[in-house]
Structure 1
Amino acid sequence: MPRFLHTADWQIGRWFSSFDPEDALPLAEARLAAVERLAALACTHEVDAVLVAGDVFDAQTVSERTIRRMFNAMAGFSGPWVLISGNHDAALAESVWTRARRLGAVPAHVHLALRPEPLLLEACRTAILPAPLSQRHTYGDSTAWFDAVETPAGWLRLGLAHGSVQGILAESMVDATNPIAPDRAARARLDYLALGDWHGGKRIEARCWYSGTPEPDRFKANDSGQALLVEIDAPGAEPRVQALRTAQFDWLELSASLRVASDLDGLLQRLEALPAHTVLSLRLEGQLALDLHQRLNAALAVLRGRLRHLSVEASALSLAPTDEDIAALQADGYLAEVIAELRELGAAGPAPSSEEPGEAEIAREALALLTATLAQRRRELSA
């Protein structure tokens, strides 16, 4: 019974430029480690071949060292690897693939299927029909040639392509143009069509799947961080597809509205339960009294040291000092006069409709900043 591991969108060499270097490097390294895990899974499940549906590299300009490290990461599985080019690493006349070949970096058991012609794997009686991209954007269906090509009788027919299945994925969900007919598997008499480009796992129909990227790289709940184990009993039999986890890091997006202590308690309880391998984007809104605001900041400081990455968007979360907060500052003299004036101005009603903040809003923000600064100063002096 032939068995295959379907994966795609490794994007080796990607640099997470929006992250601090301290976080970006481990995220980049995790993509290479994912290839090593794929090799281990291929061995564990004794697959006949690993099918890689494009975007192996993130760019044509990755370094020689990155090219060599990527192919070295595949050494753990000595069976066939079949790779096609995607939109990030299109098979141009001069490309990352031609550089890899010049470097002698491509192992003998790795097949670069960079031309639209059948690749025959005799050991498992399987014909691979590849649809490599030769440019970043195409407007014709690169899988159209599958329909007419003949393959040995009694052999499996597997398609390998990178692009967007038409009418299934919204334009905002795909990485680039490169259309694929939704009924290509049926029209081309394929036993299975392995797709790449969509970074999440997705079943198009029984014989057509996106595997998703093996290491998440976006804050989307789309079944990324996996590879697909595909088993096909015989030509014409419906494939059995099983998702296998490959991710090192979990990417998570959370939002919370904070106004009272119980809101904060609930959020902190949820955050404390997150595993250390989480990459978290947190959005906060609402208003908090000074003591709750300080408690939140202290908890976030601890969390930044524990999680793989934490980004916080809190522009919609304001500090609303209570009378007790202000009294506890024991401000006197000029500071007391400033605080009193800001409180008086801030107590005024909302400004008329305007794009610019009104005097009352500015006064409330100034009072919040002054209160937080004075409270911090008092803590430092008492430490």
Structure 2
Amino acid sequence: MPKFIHTADIHLDAPFSLFDVQKAQVRKNELRGTFSSIILLAKTEKADFVILSGDLFDSGFVTKETTSLMISQFASLPECHFIIAPGNHDFISPRSPYKKEVFPPNVHIFDTPTLSKLSFDEHGVDIYGFAFTAGTHPENPLVEKPFLDRRKINLFVGHCDLTGKSALCPLSVQDLSRCGFDYAALGHIHKGGEVKRAGDTYYAYSGCPEGRSFDECGIKGVIVCELDKKEGRLSASFANRRMCRRRYEKLSVEISGTSSDAELLEKVKSAVIQEGFGADTLARIRLYGEVSPEAAFSAQKLSAGALGLYYLEIRDETVPLLDTETLKNDISIRGAFFRELLPLLEGEDEEKRRLAAAALRYGLAALDGDDVADF
């Protein structure tokens, strides 16, 4: 029973522009570590194939350190076949690492924009795939139905978009079903998802094995597939395995009535613990609710260390809890200040409302003689 590890969208040498130079380099190294962990998983699982469905690299420029690591990792497992179908970020070109580097014989790279086949008779497996040869691929490689040997396990490997309307290899679920592959190992959608079925074809996006921004939240990994065929009948099993070093997560915490830094920390930390976030987590936390303008706390004093996180971003979207009628009629500078901000507080622009609420809170505190530097 052949065993496959399906992954995609690793994006080696991605810039990690969210961070400063030092932390960005740490994340680049961790991404290389995730790639190495996939190879280690292939060893421990005794996988026959590792399927890389596009965007192994983030761009055509790849550091020597990365290519050396990649080739040495491939060579460390000579009994496993590595199947690469280049995508829109790592498309095949004369300057591509796929053309410039010398790969070990167990690495097989699709290099044409049309569908082609790799046969592994010792495993009873045929693998069909294609390559991006530019940053776009508006053609559907499955327009013509391939002739499949039904006695074998037939895989399709591709970096594609199943919406059907895309410049990045538009396919449809109906295309996969019509062609009759046993499993379609897809790349391009970083979120990933469960293995689905269309007709007799199983298909899935593996998702990226390591998130790189808050657009890629959650625990990331690979799909381990075991496929067997007897008398033309397929049996299949699929399992997801975590690979990510870090996880990006978003969390909203309601802090109405909070009046001190200690109370704020307690509420936010409780929410973080409840979600199971920890030292592996990069969190973007949104604070919301109604708080008194006189509340003596600062959301910006929250730190990743205090919350047990790797990285923290705070979005303060609280609104002031106000006696608006009193302030509207207040003839002092407090009332004048409130009336000046009122159009922004009641406006439709969310960012302007947020800034006006913060300005009101700081301003009223300053007028009351509080040290705004403590906020």
Deviation (angstroms), 1:75: 4.5
Determine the structure 2 residue equivalent to 1:148. Answer: 146
- Give the 5 Å matches for 1:291-330: 293-294=296-297, 296-298=299-301, 300-301=302-303, 303=305, 306-314=308-316, 316-317=317-318
2:40 maps to what in 1?
A: 40
Closer/same/farther in 2, CA of residues 126 and 306 from structure 1, 3 Å limit: same
Aligned to 2:8: 8
> 1:124 aligns to what?
123
Matches of 2:96 and 2:133, distance apart in 1:
10
* Residues 93-114 of structure 1, C-alpha deviations (whole Å, 9 max, x = no match): 4323222x2xx3x223222222
- How high is the TM-score relative to the length of structure 2? 0.79
TM-aligned CA deviation for residue 142 of structure 1: 2.1
Deviation for aligned residue 1:227:
0.7
Check 1:252–1:302 CA distance in 2 against 1; reply closer, same or farther (3 A cut): closer
| Residue identity in the other structure for 1:309 | Y
* Secondary structure in structure 2 of the residue aligned to 1:98: helix
Q: In 2, distance between residues paired with 1:276 and 1:38?
A: 22
Looking at structure 1, the residues matched to 76 and 128 of structure 2 have their Cα atoms a distance apart, in angstroms, of 25
Aligned to 1:61, the other structure's residue is in SS state coil
Residues 366, 217 of structure 1: alpha-carbon distance in 2 compared, 3 angstrom cutoff: closer
Distance (whole Å) between structure 2 residues aligned to residue 6 and residue 362 of structure 1 = 48
Q: Deviations over 1:190-234 (max 9, x none)?
A: 111110001122234251111111112243577661111111121
Q: Which residue of 2 aligns with 1:370?
A: 366
Match of 1:72 in 2: 72
Give 2:287's aligned residue: 284
In the TM superposition, 1:183-198 aligns within 5 A as 183-198=174-189
CA RMSD of aligned residues (A): 3.6
Aligned mates of 1:197, 1:378 — CA distance in 2: 46
Aligned positions, number = 347
Q: Name whichever of 347-356 and 211-220 sits farther off.
A: 347-356
Tell me the equivalent position of 2:90.
89
Partner of 2:326: none
Aligned AA (1:14) = A
Q: Report SS of the residue matched to 2:271.
A: helix
Structure 2, unaligned runs of 5 or more = 324-330
Percent identity, aligned pairs only, is: 21
Check 1:236–1:150 CA distance in 2 against 1; reply closer, same or farther (3 A cut): same
Measure the CA separation in 1 of the matches of 2:347 and 2:281.
41
Contact kept, 8 Å, 1:85 with 1:132, in 2: the verdict is: yes
1:103-129 deviations in whole A, cap 9, x for unaligned?
Answer: x3x223222222342111233121111
Larger helix proportion of the pair: 1
1:114 partnered with 2:129:
no
Aligned match of 1:258? 255
Contact 1:204 1:210 in 2 (8 A): no
Equivalent-residue separation in structure 2 for 1:372 and 1:56 (angstroms): 58
* CA positional deviation for 1:365: 4.9
Q: Which residue of 1 aligns with 2:134?
A: 135
**Considering only CA atoms, is the larger Rg found in Structure 1 or Structure 2?**
1
Partner of 2:49: 49
Query: What are the Cα deviations for residues 266-301 of structure 1, in whole angstroms up to 9, with x where unaligned?
Result: 323123562101011122234545786536444x13
Aligned counterpart, 2:171: 180
Q: Which residue of 2 aligns with 1:165?
A: 162
